[in-house]
């Protein structure tokens, strides 16, 4: 089973920039999107070209903001919008997909760079989501966490770590929460296969950052320990354009 996650930075805009062709090339069984920026009825007509997929939407209340989506061509046992917290649900932050004993958390983690209140909101999200998925692991579920986590975990995960130590996305307090996810029994799927530097999933639209590969790795697939033997591959598809983020994938032997 191939699962792909992509922050599309506005699905309507991305649909005009090759989204459908990119998805067909990636060929996911399950596609999880972040920052769709849609309201009901605004789904791009281009999606009709992706036959065989069933779509599930979780939009923000605010127009043109946030939002996540799941498209699947495999049977799902359920898709939960949010994970029990209204303060995140109103921003369309999270979906939880159930397939048998597998739980896939797709999240658009908050950006903490817009003042102390938003940083606190981001850290609360990390804490509350970890509490929820830890309960799933304790109950015997296999867990995947994916999406735009909005933090680069280690110095190898961004081009200029020294210059960004005090910037949201690489602050110590944010990285410590990433450590806690690993301490809770999650593994970074990409790093199982790719220890090399200079692999990023987001680039600023300014200063030719993408062309110069001055980027950040903000998009992840994290997996519970029991899934580790089932992970066959995990990739950053940095050749795919259409957004300031690129897709990330995991190939999983399932069931």
Instruction: Tell me the average pLDDT across 202-225.
Output: 97
Q: Exposed (0-12), middle (13-18) or buried (19+): which is 89, by Cβ within 10 Å? A: middle
Instruction: Read off the CATH number of the domain in which 185 is found.
Output: 3.60.10.10
The C-alpha atoms of residue 57 and residue 150 are separated, in whole angstroms, by 21
Q: What is the DSSP string of 154-172?
A: SGGGBS-TGGGTTSTTS-H
What's the number of domains the chain is made of? 1
Q: Name, in order, each residue with C-beta under 8 angstroms of 182's C-beta and a sequence gap of 6 or more.
A: 188
Instruction: Tell me the average pLDDT across 121-142.
Output: 98
Instruction: Tell me the average pLDDT across 92-109.
Output: 98
Tell me, rounded to whole angstroms, the distance of Cα 247 from its chain centroid: 9
Q: Three-class SS of residue 201?
A: coil
What would the pLDDT profile of 19-62 be if each residue is shown by its tens digit? 999 999 999 999 999 999 999 999 999 999 999 999 999 999 99
Give the model's confidence band at 107: pLDDT under 50 very low, under 70 low, under 90 confident, else very high: very high
Instruction: Tell me the average pLDDT across 196-200.
Output: 97
The C-alpha atoms of residue 22 and residue 255 are separated, in whole angstroms, by 26
Instruction: Tell me the average pLDDT across 105-132.
Output: 97
pLDDT at 255 over 90: no
Sheet of 68-72: strand order equals 54-58, 68-72, 30-34, 2-7, 248-252, 231-236
Residue whose structure tokens are 């062309």: 211
For the chain, what is the mean pLDDT?
A: 97
Q: Distances in Å between the alpha carbon of 118 and those of 113, 121, 122, 156, 172?
A: 7, 5, 6, 26, 16
pLDDT at 112 over 90: yes
Q: Is 239 left (phi over 0), alpha (psi -120 to 50) or beta?
A: alpha
Give the model's confidence band at 9: pLDDT under 50 very low, under 70 low, under 90 confident, else very high: very high
Q: Name, in order, each residue with C-beta under 8 angstroms of 179's C-beta and a sequence gap of 6 or more.
A: 153
Please list the active-site residues: 148
Range of the domain at 231: 2-252
What would the pLDDT profile of 160-176 be if each residue is shown by its tens digit? 999 999 999 999 999 99
Percent of the chain predicted with pLDDT > 90: 99
Tell me, rounded to whole angstroms, the distance of Cα 151 from its chain centroid: 11
Q: In terms of pTM, does the model score above 0.95? A: yes
The per-residue pLDDT for 114 is 86
Instruction: Tell me the average pLDDT across 131-151.
Output: 98
The per-residue pLDDT for 221 is 98
The per-residue pLDDT for 152 is 98
């Amino acid at each position: 089973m191939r699962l792909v996650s992509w922050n599309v930075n506005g699905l309507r805009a991305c649909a005009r920039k090759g989204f459908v062709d990119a998805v067909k090339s990636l060929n996911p069984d399950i596609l999880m999107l972040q920052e769709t920026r849609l309201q009901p009825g605004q789904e791009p007509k281009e999606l009709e070209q992706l036959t065989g997929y069933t779509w599930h939407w979780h939009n923000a209340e605010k127009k043109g903001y946030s939002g996540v989506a799941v498209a699947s061509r495999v049977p799902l046992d359920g898709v939960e919008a949010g994970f029990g917290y209204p303060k995140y649900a109103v921003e369309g932050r999270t979906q939880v997909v159930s397939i048998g004993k597998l739980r896939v958390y797709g999240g658009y983690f908050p950006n903490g760079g817009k003042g102390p209140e938003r940083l606190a909101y981001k850290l609360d999200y990390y804490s509350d989501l970890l509490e929820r998925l830890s309960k799933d692991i304790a109950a015997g579920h296999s867990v995947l966490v994916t999406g735009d986590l909005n933090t680069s975990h280690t110095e190898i995960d961004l081009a200029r770590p020294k210059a960004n130590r005090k910037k949201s996305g690489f602050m110590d307090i944010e990285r410590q929460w990433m450590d806690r996810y690993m301490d809770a029994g999650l593994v970074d799927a990409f790093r199982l296969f790719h220890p090399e530097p200079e692999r990023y999933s987001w680039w600023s639209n300014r200063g030719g950052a993408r062309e110069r590969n001055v980027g950040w790795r903000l998009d992840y697939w994290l997996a519970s320990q029991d899934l580790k033997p089932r992970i066959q591959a995990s990739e950053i598809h940095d050749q795919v354009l259409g957004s300031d983020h690129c897709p990330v994938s995991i190939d999983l032997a399932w069931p």
